[in-house]
Amino acid sequence: MSKTGGFLMAIALAAVLFAAAVLTGVVTLNVGGSGGTHAYKNKGVLEVVCDVEASKPTDGLVPPFETVRLTLPAVFDFDENTGAYAGEYTISLNRKGTLKVDGERLEINRPSMFKRHGAVIIGEHVTLNRRTGEFRQWLDLDGGKRLDLITGSCKRTDNAPF
């Protein structure tokens, strides 16, 4: 084999290895200069259905909590800057919370003031990661404490990407 033939074989092998790396996701190409960030649609209404595991306190806020699996809807209204979901301790569909958009992360929060299980709940929060579909819900308690209640994953109701 000549030097030229060996050189061409090496280039072909490198091209095949590079193509395999791109196809498997090991290497990503930033074509168009997007800086690696995904441009999400922040207009209109985003409706999702979430498969979650909810932890329910039973006797006070001392673990172990009862856990249940639920399917629940969530709505994010970018035009109104509001959002809601139907689940435990809900930022309900008729009493929406404030929507905050931070790239791929959506957060709904609503100040609260009610007492449950011997603790004063001062805020409710929900987040949705649009890249991973991860859904989380927690409560802010008096004394600077946080109580995580729901974790799960969501999909758009129209099966389109976020």
Q: What is the pLDDT of residues 6-59, one digit of tens each?
A: 788 888 888 887 777 677 766 655 444 444 556 788 999 999 999 999 988 777
Domain boundaries, the chain: 1-31, 45-156
Question: Can you name the CATH fold of 45-156?
Answer: Porin (2.40.160)
- Left if phi > 0, otherwise alpha if psi is -120 to 50, otherwise beta: which for 100? beta
pLDDT score for 33: 45
CA distance 148 to 138: 4
What 3-state DSSP class applies to 25? coil
- Among 63-67, 86-90, 133-137, name the most confident range: 133-137
The rounded radius of gyration (Å) of the Cα atoms in the chain is 23
Q: What is the 3-state secondary structure (H, E, C) of 55-112?
A: EECCCCCCCCCEEEEEEEEEEEECCCCEEEECCCCCCCCCCCEEEEEECCEEEEEEEE
Q: Omega into 64 within 30° of 0, i.e. cis?
A: yes
CA distance 145 to 108: 18
The tokens for 41 are 């649609």
- pTM score of the predicted model: 0.71
